[in-house]
Amino acid sequence: MIKRVKGMDPEFQEYAAKVESEINRGLSSVCVLSIINEYGEQGVYGYQISKDLEERTNQMLIIEEGTLYPLLRNLQRDGIIKSYREKGGRRRKYYSLTKYGKKVFNYLAGFYSKLTEAIGSLFDVKVDLQSDRYIFCPMCANKIDLSSGVQKFCDACGHHLEDELKSRGIKNE
């Protein structure tokens, strides 16, 4: 983002660009996984991931092709995503989350959500975690979707969720 600004003090611009890069490095993975997750089992191809990120983040997070495809290869190597090639036509490569990848994504999404909520007051930002749709594990911050049924235990750390469910009036059967 800072690279787009012209006429700025070079020392300031260099420092700001370095910090931006550090923040974006980890955040990019979580955001890419979020887009892939939204497409479910059908998967999504790289160019669409890039366009969705650009649109959904109001052009704040733009991942260049030279960054996106190595990121996708690393996620696939780590067993977080899987891919398949389209038959006929353009033969695009589609990406979707593996079972392990869904677990990793839910944890990272929960961690990022809770972290954003925790630091929001430092930046005058209010965060709405949609607590009617999710439970965040109090031990590890794993994001647990209530629409997929009630879980007794966190699938990331194994914490028993009984107290959290009771506090919301949800029966844990």
Give the tens place of pLDDT for each residue, 3-61. Answer: 666 677 888 888 888 888 888 888 999 999 999 999 999 999 999 999 999 999 998 88
pLDDT at 173 over 70: no
pLDDT at 157 over 70: yes
Given CA atoms 27, 32, 33, 37 in this order, what sign does their dihedral have?
Answer: positive
pLDDT of residue 42: 95
pLDDT at 138 over 80: yes
Read off the pLDDT of each residue in 108-112 and give the average, rounded to a whole number. Answer: 95
| Whole-prediction pTM | 0.86
Domain over 1-97 is classified CATH 3.40.50.80: no
Report the candidate in 148, 151, 169, 171 with the shortest Cα–Cα distance to residue 160: 151
Which pLDDT tens digit goes with each residue over 77-105?
999 999 999 887 778 999 999 999 999 99
Tell me how far apart the 2 most distant CA atoms of the chain are, in Å: 62
pLDDT at 2 over 60: no
Read off the pLDDT of each residue in 60-82 and give the average, rounded to a whole number. Answer: 94
Q: Are 93 and 84 in contact (CB under 8 A)?
A: yes
Q: Are 13 and 5 in contact (CB under 8 A)?
A: yes
51 vs 130, more confident: 51
pLDDT of residue 50: 95
Q: What ranges do the domains of the chain cover? A: 1-97, 100-173
90 vs 119, more confident: 119
pLDDT of residue 21: 85
Q: Are strands 81-85 and 44-45 parallel, antiparallel or unpaired?
A: unpaired
* Cα-based angle 128, 156, 67 (whole degrees, multiple of 5): 70
